[in-house]
Structure 1
Amino acid sequence: MFRLEEFNFHNKTVFLRVDLNSPMKDGKIISDARFRAVLPTIEFLVENGAKVVIGTHQGKPYSDDYSTTEEHARILSGLLNQHVEYVEDIFGKYARDKIRSMKPGEVIILENLRFSAEEVKNKPIEECEKTFFVRKLSEVIDYVVNDAFAAAHRSQPSLVGFARIKPMIMGFLMEKEIEALMKAYYSKEEPKVYVLGGAKVDDSLKVAENVLKKGRADIILTGGLVANVFTLAKGFDLGKKNIEFMKKKGLLEHVKHAEKILDEFYPYIRTPADFAVDYEGERVEVDLLSERRELLNNYQIMDIGSRTVEKYREIIMKAKVVVANGPMGVFEREEFAFGTVEVFKAIAESNAFSVLGGGHSIASIQKYGIEGISHVSTGGGAMLTFFAGEELPVIKALQISYEKFKEVVR
């Protein structure tokens, strides 16, 4: 795959695809973490005299965080200490004329790419490169730099459509992400521990199955809704209230898959011995083998219990590699952040090479000031897809572009 240092960008127009999709409240972005993650790539391009055309998406149609990129331009301007112009167009005549008139070192940001209907669907490269988006923009750009690791599991025009039309190059963030994930996945050091929590049950089951089958994991520790599904699959009763909640969320359909994984790898998948419930506004811990488990009929599981935290900590402290995705419970409420905070603290304090990903995971380590994790990934879905052993369309596109243009650009 192409790297940034291999190219001369002076006076060249670069379409830089990043993922600045960020949490918003009352129309304002509340975290600039993804902006800071791509700053080194933008600064490198500016310093090397490129005309930088930034493309990102924000939210999904009809969602609360679906907005223009005007706010993104403001934040980038502050971080870069130079004006980043917001262009209220994507590939129309106004956008193309604006791009043609740019000078070396200037930066603009196009409108939210998902305002274009073509950008919302996943399609193969062959279809993506025929879109108006790609055909129109390719007229006015020289190179594509892809630094949108968080969207690497999607196959959409802005992400893969230029691969066979223009040289497509990894940004610094993309390069760093791929290196860290590959290091964790292919490491020969043992034990390798995967901590799977949060609500992405289907993806987490695929990860568990893949890493255990391929010998990439020695132990899986579970939390959040992932733990609830595996606990049910082990034959424990989680009580009427929790089963109703899981049914409503469509999670019971994953229990069969979890049972199948347990049939083959039972001893290597650890589930909580105790849980914390919201008992009339307070944290109360319930041991699965105690009479207190009756509380699970009427009160919802909100976190793993302290006995589980202790067991998980012991395992993590002996690990050589730790991969973690998703919180252990409802960390947004302080009394139920205990499991997530303590498990993530253990990962940070261990001597293991550690990779942590997922929006909620990142939010929790930022909120509680947890430092010491080797690599914090910007992409939860992309990271899970990678560890599930599935192809990431953007990585594939970068490889295709390298093969197509390697003789031309050297």
Structure 2
Amino acid sequence: MFKLTDFNYHNKTVFFRADLNSPMSKGRIISDARFKAVLPSLIYLLEHGAKLVIGTHQGRPYDDEFETTEEHAKILSELLNIDVEYVEDIFGKYARERINSLKAGEAIILENLRFASEEARTAPLNACERTFFVRKLAPLIDFFVNDAFATSHRSSPSLVGFARIKPMIPGFLMEKEIKALKRAYESDDSPKVYILGGAKIDDSLRVAENVLKSGKAHLILTGGLVGHIFTFAKGYDLGDANVDFLHSKGLLDFIDWAEKILNEFYPYIRTPVDFAIDYEGERLEIDLLSDEKALFDKHSILDIGSRTVEKYSQLLKKAKIIVANGPMGVFEREEFAHGTVGVFRAIGESDAFSIVGGGHSIASIYKYNIEGISHISTGGGAMLSFFGGKRLPVLEAFKISYERFKDKV
């Protein structure tokens, strides 16, 4: 792959694909973490005289967070200390005119890319090349810089479509993410401990299966809904309320897959020994083997318990590599953040090289000022795809572009 420092950007037009998709409340962005993550790349390009065209998506169609990029422009303007103009167009005449009028060191941000129907779906690289998005913008740009690691597991026009038309270059964030993930995955250090939490059951099961089969993990700790699935698959009764919830979300369909993984790797997959529920407005911890577990029939499990945190923490102290994705419970409620905060603090206090990813995980790390984690990944889904053994379309596109344009360096 190329490096960002390989080219001369002075007076060159650069399409910069970022992932500034951020949590929102009442139409306002409530976290600028992803903005700050791409600042080094943006600053480098602007300082080297690039004419910068920034593209990002925000939310999904019909979601509450499906918004314009007008506020993104304001945040970027404040962080970069320049005027980043919001262009209420993507590849139409107005957008193309604004791109053509850019001067060295200036930047604009296009409208939410997912407002274009072509961008809302994924397709192979050759199909992405034929989209109006790529055909309209390609003649106007000199370089394509992709720093959107969090969406590197997707194949859409703005992410891969320019790869065989213009040099496609990873930004500093993308390079850092790839380096960290490869270090964790390919390292011979042991033990390697994976922590799988949150609600992305299929991705998490794929990771568990891949890293155990390939010898890339020595132990897997589970929490969140992933922990529910493995606990249930082990034969433990989680109570009517929790089984009904899993059924309502279609998650019971994954039990057979979880059982298959357990049958092959049972000793290497640890599940919670106690859970916390909301009982009459208070956190109540219940041992999985106690008679109190009858309360699970009417009360939802919202976190792992203190004994589980203690057991997991002891295991993490011995680890050399730690990979974690997803929270241990409903950390948004302070009384049920104990499991997530406890486990993540144990990661930070360990001597291991550690990676933590996923939007909710990042939010909890910043909210509770957890320090000591080696690398905080901006991409939960992309990270899970990587450790699940999937080919990431954006990484493949980097290689294709390098082979086509390496003589330009």
With normalisation by structure 2, the TM-score equals: 0.99
Query: What residue in structure 2 maps to residue 229 of structure 1?
Result: 229
User: Any idea what SS the aligned residue of 2:139 has?
Assistant: coil
CA distance in structure 1 between the partners assigned to 2:285 and 2:24 by the alignment: 33
Query: What residue in structure 1 maps to residue 23 of structure 2?
Result: 23
CA distance in structure 2 between the partners assigned to 1:327 and 1:158 by the alignment: 30
Q: What amino acid sits opposite 1:37 in the alignment?
A: A
Query: What residue in structure 2 maps to residue 266 of structure 1?
Result: 266
Query: What residue in structure 2 maps to residue 388 of structure 1?
Result: 388
Say whether residues 1:346 and 2:311 are aligned partners. Answer: no
Say whether residues 1:286 and 2:286 are aligned partners. Answer: yes
- Any residues of structure 2 matched to 1:170-181 within 5 Å, and which? 170-181=170-181
CA distance in structure 1 between the partners assigned to 2:286 and 2:370 by the alignment: 27
Q: What amino acid sits opposite 2:240 in the alignment?
A: K
- Any residues of structure 2 matched to 1:33-72 within 5 Å, and which? 33-72=33-72
User: Any idea what SS the aligned residue of 1:303 has?
Assistant: strand
Query: What residue in structure 1 maps to residue 6 of structure 2?
Result: 6
- The count of corresponding residues between Structure 1 and Structure 2 is 409
Report the CA distance between 1:139 and its aligned residue.
Answer: 1.2
Report the CA distance between 1:26 and its aligned residue.
Answer: 1.2
Query: What residue in structure 2 maps to residue 379 of structure 1?
Result: 379
Report the CA distance between 1:58 and its aligned residue.
Answer: 0.5
Query: What residue in structure 2 maps to residue 300 of structure 1?
Result: 300
CA distance in structure 2 between the partners assigned to 1:353 and 1:228 by the alignment: 27
Query: What residue in structure 1 maps to residue 326 of structure 2?
Result: 326
Report the CA distance between 1:300 and its aligned residue.
Answer: 0.7
- Cα displacement string for residues 76-119 of structure 1 (whole angstroms, at most 9, x for unaligned residues): 00000111011111111111111111110001000110110000
Q: What amino acid sits opposite 2:255 in the alignment?
A: V
Query: What residue in structure 2 maps to residue 119 of structure 1?
Result: 119
Cα RMSD after superposing both structures: 0.6
User: Any idea what SS the aligned residue of 1:299 has?
Assistant: coil
Which range moved further: 213-222 or 285-294?
285-294
Q: What amino acid sits opposite 1:315 in the alignment?
A: L
CA distance in structure 2 between the partners assigned to 1:188 and 1:312 by the alignment: 22
Q: What amino acid sits opposite 1:132 in the alignment?
A: F
- Cα displacement string for residues 4-61 of structure 1 (whole angstroms, at most 9, x for unaligned residues): 1110001100000000000111111000000000000000000000000000000111
Report the CA distance between 1:318 and its aligned residue.
Answer: 0.6
| Unaligned runs of at least 5 residues, structure 1 | none
Q: What amino acid sits opposite 1:362 in the alignment?
A: I
Report the CA distance between 1:214 and its aligned residue.
Answer: 0.5
CA distance in structure 1 between the partners assigned to 2:297 and 2:27 by the alignment: 40
Q: What amino acid sits opposite 1:198 in the alignment?
A: G
Query: What residue in structure 2 maps to residue 83 of structure 1?
Result: 83
Report the CA distance between 1:168 and its aligned residue.
Answer: 0.3
Q: What amino acid sits opposite 2:129 in the alignment?
A: E
Q: What amino acid sits opposite 2:369 in the alignment?
A: G
- Any residues of structure 2 matched to 1:232-251 within 5 Å, and which? 232-251=232-251
Q: What amino acid sits opposite 1:246 in the alignment?
A: L
Report the CA distance between 1:278 and its aligned residue.
Answer: 1.2
Say whether residues 1:162 and 2:162 are aligned partners. Answer: yes
User: Any idea what SS the aligned residue of 1:220 has?
Assistant: strand
User: Any idea what SS the aligned residue of 1:139 has?
Assistant: helix
User: Any idea what SS the aligned residue of 1:276 has?
Assistant: strand
CA distance in structure 2 between the partners assigned to 1:307 and 1:112 by the alignment: 45
- Any residues of structure 2 matched to 1:182-193 within 5 Å, and which? 182-193=182-193
| Unaligned runs of at least 5 residues, structure 2 | none
User: Any idea what SS the aligned residue of 2:22 has?
Assistant: coil
Give the ranges of 4+ consecutive aligned residues of structure 1 lying more than 3 Å apart after TM superposition.
none
Report the CA distance between 1:280 and its aligned residue.
Answer: 1.7
Q: What amino acid sits opposite 1:273 in the alignment?
A: V
Query: What residue in structure 1 maps to residue 146 of structure 2?
Result: 146
Q: What amino acid sits opposite 2:392 in the alignment?
A: L
- Cα displacement string for residues 144-191 of structure 1 (whole angstroms, at most 9, x for unaligned residues): 000000000110000001000111000000000000000000110000
CA distance in structure 1 between the partners assigned to 2:332 and 2:133 by the alignment: 39
Task: Determine what percentage of the aligned residue pairs are the same residue.
Answer: 69
User: Any idea what SS the aligned residue of 2:121 has?
Assistant: coil
User: Any idea what SS the aligned residue of 1:144 has?
Assistant: strand
Query: What residue in structure 1 maps to residue 368 of structure 2?
Result: 368
Report the CA distance between 1:231 and its aligned residue.
Answer: 0.4
Query: What residue in structure 2 maps to residue 201 of structure 1?
Result: 201
Report the CA distance between 1:293 and its aligned residue.
Answer: 1.1
Report the CA distance between 1:356 and its aligned residue.
Answer: 0.2
CA distance in structure 1 between the partners assigned to 2:172 and 2:91 by the alignment: 26
Query: What residue in structure 2 maps to residue 357 of structure 1?
Result: 357
With normalisation by structure 1, the TM-score equals: 0.99
